[in-house]
Amino acid sequence: MAAAAAASVPAIVDSFNAQSKRMESRFQSLHESELRLMPTRTEADTGLVTAMVPTETVILEEVARTELAWLKSEFGMEVVAEGREGKVLLRAPESGEAAIETAFEAARACFERGNVAAAHPNFLRLMRRPQASSAGTETPWHLDNPGNPGVFGADVHALAAWTITKGDSSIRVAILDEGVDTEHSRLKPAVVAERDFVDGNDHARPDGDDAHGTACAGIVCSRDSKVSGLAPNVSLVAARIAKGDGNGFWIFDDFETADAIDWCWEDAGADVLSNSWGGGPEVDAITRAFERARTQGRDGKGAVVVVAAGNSESPVFYPGTLSGVLTVGASNQWDERKTKTSQDGEGWWGSNHGSSLDLVAPGVRIATTDIRGSHGYSSTMFTDTFNGTSSATPMVAACAALILSIRPDLTEGEVRDVITSTADPLAPSGKRNNFVGHGRLNCYAALRAARRR
């Protein structure tokens, strides 16, 4: 999709917002102060976390054919794709800045007419990828922390949890990411469904150096005896929703991301959706897709949605701000909230915080699977340098899968409650706060509590 020149973005956005006050509540994050376009990236951009790139396309939901005909007559908008759950993508007839202006005007007009469930411009998101550790650890401390370095027992209590279950293959965890190496020998036996929403391949494997999704998948269900996932016996769904741009950023398309979410719960039957990504403004298409997953997935019991809080030591990123999702921050080997000054010594990142943060899980120097070959985090099939709330999120997703393995009758809300109510408190008061949520994930306590419900 074509992107606008940087200088044109503020004018387009200001014009869009000025034309309709009603749109401000829905598109409040599209003001000039919050929309940043990054056509080229250099060392000077190191503070940038997410850039929003406007396109010549518009997302609609639950739109009648008569409304599509009106949009074509008034704006020349043509349908270019139809997604799940009534999503439609339309493109403006012009090119360049004119097309983007037309797309914004059409979205505004369609929203004001009130004949659709959602109407907004489609954006590309450029999100900064988490930086790996400079050195790893020899032990999977997140599963069983020996206390060197760190604090003995500052882990998710996996060994105790495994006395109850290592998961059931009927439970499916979806990894929505930059692809998963589904041919990896420690992941392939778990794969039950995969789809590429970026390039349309018949698999979800990544390009080049894109190893992030493979690392997330390994944390859930690696079937290696030394580098095991927390839920090694569950099944894996891989949805490729992003790709690296070669400069340290991911590229996401809002329409494709929303459709991937719907595919995971609706077509692939995912019980848990793990999302180690975030940033940028809220949009209806993605928000509504997550809400459908939570309310309609698992035959109405709801799929559990787990989302990373973010790594900029700032307020939680969207979609972690959404109600009803499990928003996950990161802890370290000393059971501290990961900050730029915590004892692990990684001063370039810290876990995000806020009222929507539910809990934390280990997120520093995590051992997991790596893409095969010379690319990725290492030259082997494994890495011990995976970092961020990106690594903490699939641990919570894996715990949710273990809970459902023994209690498939629980609703997604009950699973969330079990996980948060059994977390080991980290705040001095022992109560929830905006920096560590309810505390650090304790998978064993969560499983015991689930059996007693």
Per-residue pLDDT tens for 207-219? 999 999 999 999 9
Q: Say if 251 falls within a structural domain.
A: yes
CA dist 433 and 418 (Å) reads 18
Could you tell me the strand order of the sheet in which 87-91 lies?
78-82, 87-91, 50-61, 118-128, 249-253, 242-244
CA dist 359 and 303 (Å) reads 19
Q: Which residues contact 288 (CB under 8 A, 6 or more apart)?
A: 61, 85, 117, 118, 258
Query: Does 100 share its domain with 228?
Result: no
Identified catalytic residue from 120, 133, 157, 177: 177
Query: Does 37 share its domain with 175?
Result: no
Once rounded to an integer, what is the mean pLDDT over residues 149-160? 96
Query: Does 162 share its domain with 27?
Result: no
Report, in this order, helix, strand and coil percent for the chain, each rounded to 5.
30, 20, 50
Query: Does 118 share its domain with 162?
Result: no
H or E element: which one contains 66?
Answer: helix 65-75
271 is catalytic: no
Per-residue pLDDT tens for 392-445? 999 999 999 999 999 999 999 999 999 999 999 998 888 999 999 999 999 999
What is the model's pLDDT at position 138? 64
User: In this model, does residue 108 exceed pLDDT 50?
Assistant: yes
Whether 377 and 339 have beta carbons less than 8 Å apart is answered as: no
Query: Does 81 share its domain with 173?
Result: no
Whether 359 and 418 have beta carbons less than 8 Å apart is answered as: no
CATH number of the domain bearing residue 403 = 3.40.50.200
Q: Say if 89 falls within a structural domain.
A: yes
- Domain interval for residue 54: 6-128
212 is catalytic: yes
List the structure tokens of 256. Answer: 């494709």
Q: Say if 426 falls within a structural domain.
A: yes
pLDDT grade for 376, boundaries at 50, 70 and 90 = confident
CA dist 34 and 315 (Å) reads 14
Query: Does 100 share its domain with 167?
Result: no
Q: What is the pTM of this model?
A: 0.90
Identified catalytic residue from 212, 262, 274, 356: 212
CA dist 25 and 31 (Å) reads 11
CATH number of the domain bearing residue 52 = 3.30.70
Q: Say if 151 falls within a structural domain.
A: no
Which of 110, 128, 146 lies at the terminal end of a domain, its last residue? Answer: 128
What is the model's pLDDT at position 153? 95
Whether 118 and 284 have beta carbons less than 8 Å apart is answered as: yes
What is the model's pLDDT at position 379? 85
Amino acid identity of residue 68, one-letter, is L
CA dist 386 and 276 (Å) reads 12
Q: Say if 442 falls within a structural domain.
A: yes
Per-residue pLDDT tens for 20-63? 333 333 333 333 323 333 333 333 334 557 888 999 999 999 99
Query: Does 210 share its domain with 358?
Result: yes
Per-residue pLDDT tens for 81-101? 999 999 999 999 998 999 999
Q: Say if 178 falls within a structural domain.
A: yes
Query: Does 218 share its domain with 90?
Result: no
Q: Into how many domains does the chain fold?
A: 2
Q: Say if 134 falls within a structural domain.
A: no
What is the model's pLDDT at position 48? 59
Q: What percent of the chain has pLDDT over 70?
A: 89
Identified catalytic residue from 356, 390, 391, 405: 390
CA dist 369 and 76 (Å) reads 48
Place of tokens 């992107």: 3
Query: Does 122 share its domain with 204?
Result: no
Q: Say if 143 falls within a structural domain.
A: no
Per-residue pLDDT tens for 118-131? 999 999 999 888 77
Whether 435 and 391 have beta carbons less than 8 Å apart is answered as: no
384 is catalytic: no
Query: Does 425 share its domain with 324?
Result: yes
Query: Does 119 share its domain with 184?
Result: no
Query: Does 123 share its domain with 193?
Result: no
